[in-house]
Structure 1
Amino acid sequence: MTKQDQAVLPRLIESARLPEGALAEFNVGPKEKKAVTAIESTYATLRDAILRGSYPQSSRLHLETLKSSLGVSGSTLREALTRLIGDRLVVAEGQKGFRVAPMSLCDLDDLTSARIMLESAALVESINLGGDGWEDQLVTSFRRLTRAQERVEANPAEAFDAWEARNLEFHNALMAASPSKWLANFREILLRNSERYRRLSGTQGPLPAEVHEEHKTIFDAAMARDVDRAVSALSQHIRRSANVIRANGLLRKV
């Protein structure tokens, strides 16, 4: 992380904090709750399909086909797609409909820089504030990731989904002691978007043997409460997908 990024982090953390106190909950009836549940389910189904590559980058999303295959109304589908636009996984094309968001090296570089800034901020907070419960959660997630790593090395294509789940679990455990809800929300969006690139790197590029060593370095530094080493190792780790994709020509620049 550059000195400029380090200077931005305190302001970023402070601006991302939520005011204390419980958020108000709206009183909704069974019909409204059912509609919300349908939207959430449709959103999650489409999001996961896009992340897995079932709907390739830049491909058109045909509304009538999706309504039929998902068994949902047009309003439910459009609301789910609107949420995916907010996640930067879908783009609207005026009167032409919707497409899966394209992937490019420029987008990946931007995404990588944003992840380094936000995850570094959350990691610093976790290391400084995390207690025994945070350490226990981190140890458990690292052990589960270690087992998943062994399986993905044996069969990347078939074991990637399980590895990705454990990878997300580990990264979330690293940041779990950060109290900022806004920071967590933005990190989740970035992590989900970067999953498409991790999948491309992990399944179409050469499987790097150093990935788990990078995870171990981050884990050891976090457990030792070594902020500088943990942030440096995390930054290097986040850059890996971009380096692999660029070196192997897996994506165009724009």
Structure 2
Amino acid sequence: MPRFASANSSLTQDAYERLRADLLACRLRPGARLKISDLCQSLSVSLSAVREALSRLTSEGLVVAEPQRGFRVAPISAGELRDLTGVRAQIEGMCLERALAVGDVGWESRLVAAFHRLSRTPERAPGDPQRMNEEWSAAHAAYHEALVGGCDSPWLLRLRGLLYAQSERYRRLSVPLAEIARDLNREHRDIMEAALARDAERAKTLMKEHIELTTRVLLEQSWPVGAPPGSPRPATAIVATAA
């Protein structure tokens, strides 16, 4: 019995991780309906495993449960992006401040290693500049996690993780858009150097600017000027970037 339960738990975790990856990479379009039967087939798991995975993703804000209608991918909007950006900048700053205050040499070493990996990984997929390089995306997440890795507050880190995941959906949508003159490697290096120097104010300022610049690019490229704060992203843009 325990072995059977363990197998079911493993399948559910696998379904959750695969669905979450598809949501963060926008392979599942924002606002799209999620048909449980289709997910069971594509993931090769049971109905209960899919339902449990969707329930977890709903609690993370990546999926929306609609009474009598099932599940949908959480929609995106300019208003939510602005709100998300402000809150994330605050939480990232708080995590950074704690990390700089209590982080040890081990934290410093992990941060330097994470930056080195990120700086040596191409952002765009080899042979297809319209697509995100999954290795870069993983290295990028690891770098940002390493930055706050010295933080001693589990709750702050948990909130930061949820906000990062939501931001990731929006960032992924920016990849196929027009190229922007931006030196991401320099931005990441500057934040790291401020962190290693234990300059909390500079590190927080640079992180805030880093996050806000991504949002500014997305708003300029994805939503018409003067669009209502809560307006959804144009369908044509979503199709072009989530394909």
Q: Where is the helix percentage greater, Structure 1 or Structure 2?
A: 1
| Partner residue in 1 for 2:25 | 52
| Partner residue in 2 for 1:135 | 108
How far residue 75 of structure 1 moved from its aligned partner, in angstroms, is: 1.3
Give the distance between the partners of 1:163 and 1:239, measured in 2 at CA.
20
Structure 2 SS opposite 1:99: strand
Counterpart check, 1:200 vs 2:198: no
Which deviates the most, 150-159 or 70-79? 150-159
Counterpart check, 1:240 vs 2:230: no
225 and 149 in structure 1: CA distance in 2 versus 1, 3 angstrom threshold: farther
Counterpart check, 1:102 vs 2:105: no
CA contact (8 A) 1:197 1:241 kept: no
Q: Deviations over 1:79-119 (max 9, x none)?
A: 10000101111101111111100011111111111211111
Give the distance between the partners of 1:54 and 1:159, measured in 2 at CA.
12
Counterpart check, 1:42 vs 2:15: yes
Give the distance between the partners of 2:26 and 2:222, measured in 1 at CA.
18
| Partner residue in 2 for 1:216 | 189
CA contact (8 A) 1:205 1:244 kept: no
153 and 187 in structure 1: CA distance in 2 versus 1, 3 angstrom threshold: farther
Percent of aligned positions with the same letter in both sequences? 36
From 170, 183, 190, the counterpart of 2:143: 170
How far residue 139 of structure 1 moved from its aligned partner, in angstroms, is: 0.7
222 and 154 in structure 1: CA distance in 2 versus 1, 3 angstrom threshold: farther
Give the distance between the partners of 2:75 and 2:172, measured in 1 at CA.
15
How far residue 171 of structure 1 moved from its aligned partner, in angstroms, is: 0.5
How far residue 186 of structure 1 moved from its aligned partner, in angstroms, is: 1.5
| Partner residue in 1 for 2:233 | none
Give the distance between the partners of 2:124 and 2:46, measured in 1 at CA.
40
Counterpart check, 1:112 vs 2:85: yes
Give the distance between the partners of 1:63 and 1:114, measured in 2 at CA.
32
164 and 208 in structure 1: CA distance in 2 versus 1, 3 angstrom threshold: farther
Give the distance between the partners of 1:40 and 1:177, measured in 2 at CA.
27
> Structure 2 length as normaliser, TM-score?
0.87
CA contact (8 A) 2:26 2:173 kept: no
Give the distance between the partners of 2:113 and 2:121, measured in 1 at CA.
13
The within-5 A match list for 1:174-189 is 174-189=147-162
Counterpart check, 1:122 vs 2:104: no
How far residue 160 of structure 1 moved from its aligned partner, in angstroms, is: 2.9
Q: Deviations over 1:180-233 (max 9, x none)?
A: 112222211111111111111233242442322211110110111111100000
Q: Deviations over 1:156-182 (max 9, x none)?
A: 434532221111111101001111112
Structure 2 SS opposite 1:199: helix
Give the distance between the partners of 1:154 and 1:32, measured in 2 at CA.
43
> Structure 1 length as normaliser, TM-score?
0.83
| Partner residue in 2 for 1:225 | 198
Give the distance between the partners of 1:250 and 1:46, measured in 2 at CA.
27
Give the distance between the partners of 2:30 and 2:123, measured in 1 at CA.
29
Q: Please, which runs of 5 or more residues in structure 2 have no aligned partner?
A: 231-243
Counterpart check, 1:89 vs 2:78: no
Structure 2 SS opposite 1:91: strand
Counterpart code for 1:248: Q
CA contact (8 A) 2:99 2:147 kept: yes
Counterpart code for 1:218: I
CA contact (8 A) 1:149 1:212 kept: no
Counterpart check, 1:74 vs 2:35: no
